[in-house]
Structure 1
């Protein structure tokens, strides 16, 4: 059974019972991206999904300025205490921001952090593998004329390399289409976050237990950059799925769920002891 909470400015959805996991989606998406993955977890956890402001059921809530800090500040009041926050792609940037502001934001008490196919800096730079700047610029210019076609191309790049790429794209597209379309300003500024946000000097200050999950075939978060992230955040656990791309929870749901279950169980056992 799903509980839809609409008595707050932001819509959140909760299902399952147990300790809390909160999921944040990637650019151009909404919480529908997790629809097929959540059933792998709800026997053991209470899972809450929150559409990023400007997206899905929260499309009408667009903070100004539209940046990762503002998104984190807006989402923070709706995260259950003692939650593990799981952020995919752009959602991973917001999740890292939440982990960084945790001690300073009244009422926010994260128990752990999981990033899926995410990084402290998405765009490539000197000695830093990432997304080519001209690719993000191309997406931004295409947005002006056709959001759906731009999203389709973005999905294709995300699934590139996966043996199940076609099925992965179809699955995500089908589920996110059940939610409202995103705000155009949020779409454009979301791409701007991907091209400008840089948490490399900050992630070493994240103190909650952290898991970073990657796909070896991911073209948006290249595995060549993982060692650099490990150097910046050595406290984090790192797992690379050898046959996954940018959406491992879609292409390898059972394996992803097992890894997440193991990490979360360990975190909550530490709490109990």
Structure 2
């Protein structure tokens, strides 16, 4: 069964991938504004929102499911987990990706010996254990972490709480484990134009990632937004929209 998806607007194709525990509804007004210039495809990730889980929920299977419902060639915008999936997709099917915009996304979300700018493994494992014990409480805690430090934290938390309720319980854990994927090789070998937009106060994706990501790929454009946390497309919507427009227009102009 294919993933839930919706396409609206007219213009260059732009695909939006959301984060863990949510659905494409999190994009809200931001997606509406994008449809004024682009043909936007919204996809609910497997097991989240209106999409059922797919296969074994492995990275390859999830990428295959995304490609099955996406335009033949498009610009991709991935937020958080959606950013990791967009990187995996660009690695596996580079001909399908014109450009990549990563928002509050870490190519390696969980820290490793050679990658400290990420969530500590013990913190991530605590989330995994907490999810098994109490899904509702875990999702609420995750929502609070995403908004902490943002200038628009109250609005962001309200948006998260309105979207966070629609997930298949049996798919939350497999989807969470996708965050353990190491997409650094994909970022390092990326052949298309790419940008990374971070919030300076993000509690999940640290600002230190900016320098490390550019070290992996010196063609990567990086922007850090002051007073922004994990949802800069809400707190800094105008800035993020402008950045996406610049990249998409420049990529298409270059052919």
Question: Are residue 155 (structure 1) and residue 155 (structure 2) matched?
Answer: no
Question: Are residue 245 (structure 1) and residue 229 (structure 2) matched?
Answer: yes
Count of aligned pairs between the two proteins: 254
Contact map agreement 1:122 1:130 (CA 8 A) in 2:
yes
Q: What's the TM-score once normalised by structure 1's chain length?
A: 0.88
Q: What's the TM-score once normalised by structure 2's chain length?
A: 0.94
* Matched position secondary structure for 1:202: helix
| Cα separation, 2, equivalents of 1:169 and 1:144 | 23
* Matched position secondary structure for 2:197: strand
Deviations along 1:3-22, whole A, 9 cap, x unmatched? Answer: xxxxx722211121111110
Show the counterpart of 1:100. 91
The runs of 5 or more residues in structure 1 that have no matched partner are 1-7
Question: Are residue 79 (structure 1) and residue 63 (structure 2) matched?
Answer: no
Structure 1 segments (4+ residues) deviating >6 Å: none
Residue pairs, 1:175-254, within 5 angstroms: 175-177=163-165, 181-194=166-179, 196-254=180-238
* Matched position secondary structure for 2:173: helix
Question: Are residue 13 (structure 1) and residue 6 (structure 2) matched?
Answer: yes
Kindly state the Cα deviation for residue 176 of structure 1 after the two structures are TM-superposed.
4.7
- Seen in structure 2, the aligned counterparts of structure 1 residues 35 and 176 have a Cα distance that, compared at 3 Å, is farther
Kindly state the Cα deviation for residue 169 of structure 1 after the two structures are TM-superposed.
0.8
Correspondent of 2:96 among 109, 112, 135 = 109
Question: Are residue 63 (structure 1) and residue 47 (structure 2) matched?
Answer: no
CA-based RMSD of the aligned residues comes to 1.6
- Seen in structure 2, the aligned counterparts of structure 1 residues 55 and 267 have a Cα distance that, compared at 3 Å, is same
Show the counterpart of 2:117. 129
Contact map agreement 2:106 2:118 (CA 8 A) in 1:
no
Kindly state the Cα deviation for residue 191 of structure 1 after the two structures are TM-superposed.
2.0
Contact map agreement 1:35 1:175 (CA 8 A) in 2:
no
Contact map agreement 1:53 1:63 (CA 8 A) in 2:
no
